[in-house]
Amino acid sequence: MVDALTPIQKELVAGLTTGALTTVVVHPLDLIKIRLQLLATSTTKLGYRYIFGSISRSADTNPIKGGLLRELYRGLGINLFGNAVAWGLYFGLYRTSKDMLYDYKAVHVSGTKNDVQKDSKMSSLMFLSAGALSGIITAVLTNPIWVIKTRIMSTSSSDHYSYKSTLNGVKRLLSEEGPRSFWRGLIPSLFGVSQGAIYFMIYDTLKYRFSSLRHYSDDEKSNKGLKNSEIFVISSASKLISVTAVYPFQLLKSNLQCFDAREKKYTMNRLINFIYGTEGVKGFYKGLSANLFRAIPSTCITFGIYENLKSLL
């Protein structure tokens, strides 16, 4: 059955599995990152101490046993669903996009043209283009999930205006703000697509450079994956560069999707002007350290599982 899977099916299975497992591990860091990003619009100097204090206070008021853990994992369901779907979509679309670009360029490889042989003949620009196309489609299709996720994870369960569940969030968003609200923050999200495109351009370029240094033939390359240590180094370097380059778009997206966005009538321009006027350029990097602390380990986990699982499939 495994042998019968097509390259795209392998990407989907590997993407869904890695997305789900990684989300469970790093969810608390994701929650802290979102809350730090929302502090960019605060007129007072708040930071990690405020975030940890609010989580602790909410946990103390939660009568259910294990309140702190419940608060740290608030919104896990929607985050798990969103990341599994997004990674599955992205990896599947990325494989399809690379195949389309490969066929368009008519690159000829002797022997069986499997996905590894094709990728080893592609340029960095082709990886970048495939990543950008995949990211745009994924961003548009999954944006409603991220709006609900941001609303849930940015608030504590004790807040009177917070969503009580994903279904409650969907119903309230529809009735209170209308269908268009599901695509709040889409514009910075589309700009933020460049993060994934940059990441995959660097990752895949380094990946096949590593393979070429070993002087394997094409047939050998198709059966020899990266070492886990190599995956760690390549994915860490790629993520560090790509996240830092486009982090302001992530921050803008979170603030446009939060509860305050409607009340304060945020638009892209108003939000940019407010953050710049309050804290200057550094305001756009609020929570970057928390994001890197979350993103780099999670990416190493994701691509470690992904590469190993794909080779097993």
242-280 pLDDT tens trace = 999 999 999 999 999 988 888 788 889 999 999 999 889
pLDDT given for residue 47 in this prediction: 65
Count: domains in the chain = 1
Residues of the chain with pLDDT under 50: 1, 107-112, 215-223
Please report the pLDDT score of residue 141 as a whole number.
Answer: 95
Establish if 2 belongs to a structural domain.
Answer: no
**Within a domain: residue 1?**
no
Residue 193 within a domain? yes
pLDDT of residue 85: 87
**pLDDT computed for residue 214 by the predictor:** 57
Parent domain of 257: 7-312
Residue with tokens 């995949």: 134
Q: What is the pLDDT of residue 287?
A: 84
pLDDT (0 to 100) of residue 69: 80
Residue 73 lies in a domain: yes
The answer to whether position 214 is within a domain reads yes
- As a three-state string, the secondary structure of the chain is CCCCCCHHHHHHHHHHHHHHHHHHHHHHHHHHHHHHHHHHHCCCCCCHHHHHHHHHHHHHHCCCCCHHHHHHCCCHHHHHHHHHHHHHHHHHHHHHHHHHHHHHHCCCCCCCCCHHHHHHCCCHHHHHHHHHHHHHHHHHHHHHHHHHHHHHHCCCCCCCCCCCCHHHHHHHHHHHHCHHHHHCCHHHHHHHHHHHHHHHHHHHHHHHHHHHHCCCCHHHHCCCCCCHHHHHHHHHHHHHHHHHHHHHHHHHHHHHHCCHHHHCCCCHHHHHHHHHHHHHHHHHHCCHHHHHHHHHHHHHHHHHHHHHHHHHC
Residue 180 is predicted with a pLDDT of 92
pLDDT tens across 217-236, in order?
Answer: 444 444 456 677 888 888 88
The domain that contains 283 carries what CATH number?
Answer: 1.50.40.10
